[in-house]
Amino acid sequence: MRSAKIVRKTKETSIELSLNIDGGDIAIDTGIGFFDHMLELFAFHGGFGLSLKAKGDINVDGHHTVEDAGIAFGEAFYSALGDKVGISRYAQTLLPMDETLAESAVDISGRAALVFNVAFPPGSAGFDMELVEEFFRAFAANAKITLHINLRYGKNNHHIAEAVFKSAARSLREAVKITSDALPSTKGCLA
């Protein structure tokens, strides 16, 4: 079973996260309703079992909670994948959400990189939209993956964020599938 548990405590946040890459229950409580919704979508469309409880200084703003959740999720993802033998490694997804079209591509490479070409229109969805990028930056860095996310077009911030989370999740779901009994690298390691 590909799973991991992470406990992260700082002066700004306290996070307990359990991840099962191969599925399971989803229970999210970060104190930030919109972010909870995005993480539920992310887990559901990724096919992940995810329990995440976070308490943060949201009286200041959501930044520390969102970023630290991304760090913990990335650490759990990296740990749960283990030696990566047999995974597909690469995947991409083009995902529509009403008037929005988002795309993502992932390489479970052992090398951290995020390319985030998403511009949110002015306004919010009850959430600081720049934190979407912060979550994915923290996640990609700590999962040690290469992740490209592009917005082809979109007008509604909620739809844009939802398409981004769903697209990335679906790409990850395909990239972690076991498709062989070999490490997917000609150099003999993923790093």
CATH assignment of the domain containing 44: 3.30.230.40
Residue 140 amino acid letter: A
pLDDT truncated to tens, each residue of the chain (191 aa)?
899 999 999 999 999 999 999 999 999 999 999 999 999 999 999 999 999 999 999 998 999 999 999 999 999 999 999 999 989 999 999 999 999 999 999 999 999 999 999 999 987 778 999 999 999 999 999 999 999 999 999 999 999 999 999 999 999 999 999 998 877 776 777 67
Name the residue range of residue 43's domain: 3-175
Number of domains in the chain: 1
Q: Is residue 130 part of a domain?
A: yes
Distance CA 155, CA 159 (A): 8
Q: Which of 121, 188, 130 is nearest to 159 (CA)?
A: 121
Q: Is residue 61 part of a domain?
A: yes
**Cα 111 from chain centroid (whole Å):** 16
Q: Is residue 49 part of a domain?
A: yes
- Which pLDDT score is estimated for 187? 75
Q: Is residue 75 part of a domain?
A: yes
- Which pLDDT score is estimated for 125? 76
Helix/strand/coil for 51: strand
What is the end-to-end Cα distance of the chain in Å, rounded? Answer: 23
Find residue 148's DSSP bridge partners.
105, 115
What six digits make up the tokens of 104? 């993502």
- Which pLDDT score is estimated for 186? 66
Q: Is residue 189 part of a domain?
A: no
Q: Is residue 46 part of a domain?
A: yes
What's the whole-model pTM score? 0.95
The strands making up 100-107's β-sheet, listed across from edge to edge, are 90-97, 100-107, 146-153, 113-117
Residue by residue, DSSP assigns 7-29 as EEE-SSEEEEEEEETT---EEEE
Do the Cβ atoms of 100 and 166 come closer than 8 Å?
A: no
Q: Is residue 57 part of a domain?
A: yes
Helix/strand/coil for 143: helix
Find residue 53's DSSP bridge partners.
16, 29
Q: Is residue 39 part of a domain?
A: yes
